């Protein structure tokens, strides 16, 4: 390789070519000669005064809007949960956890209250059979699905651990459905509250324009606010059967799902054209 490189440099020098001018474009070309374009996020990243002021403005604006409307949003969640209790096969009661942001702003976070139910032998064996069946099925996946295979096995470690726990220490399970449901709604509320901060640090700094930044933030927070009570009702349907499902609901289908929603909206927003590139 060294000898071939020396030969090429010598040949170019023999023809009177400037080595620096000839060699530099090679770094931007692929193995078939195509031009490798710089990623648009790097090519158009300019943290100028306009984007910085817009980031601060949008962060303050959406944070204030959220704080002001949070009591009404909690009231909306309360109505959704009450409706779910009436129309769904759900044995639960509505609970309210009072919170105070300021002496003038207080709100009641709604959650569902249920009696803790230990797994019956039938539910334990059915859950064990489904878990072992999925784990065994992961060995028959195609080699092209290796990431899915290992992801599935990693997820199945959660119910396997829960099954073993409820075999040896069922009476020592420290969590109740009441505390879990309250924690789920509280964590979901906190996550929505920091969306303006997350986008301010990772999205507002790009030159997408004020309207696009505001639109992405609004639909992300609105989607999460509508999704949270439905997530609570769906998890309650499983949790009322037994607390055996609580680790799976918490670790896999809890806040990780809400975080993935934010990542999905952010990824979609990053595919939009930059303001400076839209006129090209």
State the Cα–Cα distance between residues 261 and 72, nearest whole angstrom. Answer: 23
Query: What pLDDT is attached to residue 220?
Result: 97
Q: What angle do CA 59, 256, 208 make, to 5 degrees?
A: 35
**Quick one: how far is CA 233 from the chain centroid?**
19
pLDDT tens, per residue, the chain with 280 residues: 444 444 444 444 444 444 444 445 555 666 666 676 665 555 555 667 777 888 899 999 999 999 989 999 999 999 999 999 999 999 999 998 888 776 777 788 999 999 888 999 999 999 999 999 999 999 998 888 899 999 999 999 999 999 999 988 877 888 889 999 999 999 999 999 999 999 999 888 888 888 999 999 999 999 999 999 999 999 999 999 999 999 999 999 999 999 999 999 999 998 888 765 444 3
Judged by DSSP in three states, 175 sits in coil
Two structure tokens written together for 130:
């489904």
- 131 close to 157: Cβ distance less than 8 angstroms: no
Q: What angle do CA 88, 122, 93 make, to 5 degrees?
A: 30
Query: What pLDDT is attached to residue 2?
Result: 44
Q: How many residues does the chain have?
A: 280
State the Cα–Cα distance between residues 8 and 15, nearest whole angstrom. Answer: 11
Query: What pLDDT is attached to residue 279?
Result: 44
Query: What pLDDT is attached to residue 276?
Result: 57
For 38-69, b/e burial (b = at least 16 CB within 10 A) is eeeeeebeeeeeebeebbeebbeebbeebeee
Query: What pLDDT is attached to residue 168?
Result: 87
Q: Specify whether the backbone of 209 is left (phi greater than 0), alpha (psi in -120 to 50) or beta.
A: left
């Amino acid at each position: 390789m060294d000898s071939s490189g020396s030969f090429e440099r010598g040949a170019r020098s023999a023809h009177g070519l400037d080595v620096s001018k000839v060699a530099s474009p090679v770094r931007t070309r692929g193995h078939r000669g195509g031009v490798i374009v710089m990623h648009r996020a790097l090519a158009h990243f300019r943290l100028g005064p306009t984007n910085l002021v817009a980031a601060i403005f949008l962060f303050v604006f959406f944070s204030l809007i959220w704080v002001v409307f949070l009591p009404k949003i909690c009231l909306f969640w309360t109505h959704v949960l009450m409706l779910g209790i009436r129309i769904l096969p759900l044995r639960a009661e509505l609970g309210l956890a009072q919170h105070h942001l300021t002496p003038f702003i207080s709100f009641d976070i709604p959650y569902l209250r249920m009696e803790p139910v230990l797994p019956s032998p039938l539910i334990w064996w059915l859950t064990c059979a489904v878990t072992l069946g999925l784990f065994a099925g992961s060995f028959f996946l195609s080699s092209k699905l290796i990431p899915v295979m290992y992801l599935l096995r990693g997820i199945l470690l959660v119910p396997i651990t829960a099954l073993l726990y409820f075999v040896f220490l069922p009476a020592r399970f420290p969590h109740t459905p009441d505390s879990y449901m309250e924690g789920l709604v509280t964590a979901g509320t906190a996550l929505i509250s920091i969306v303006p901060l997350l986008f301010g640090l990772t999205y507002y700094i790009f030159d997408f324009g004020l309207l696009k930044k505001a639109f992405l933030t609004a639909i992300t927070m609105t989607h999460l606010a509508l999704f949270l009570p439905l997530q609570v009702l769906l998890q309650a349907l499983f949790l009322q059967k037994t607390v055996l499902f609580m680790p799976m609901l918490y670790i896999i289908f809890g806040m990780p799902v809400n975080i993935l929603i934010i990542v999905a909206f952010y990824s979609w927003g990053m595919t939009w054209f930059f303001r400076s590139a839209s006129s090209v």
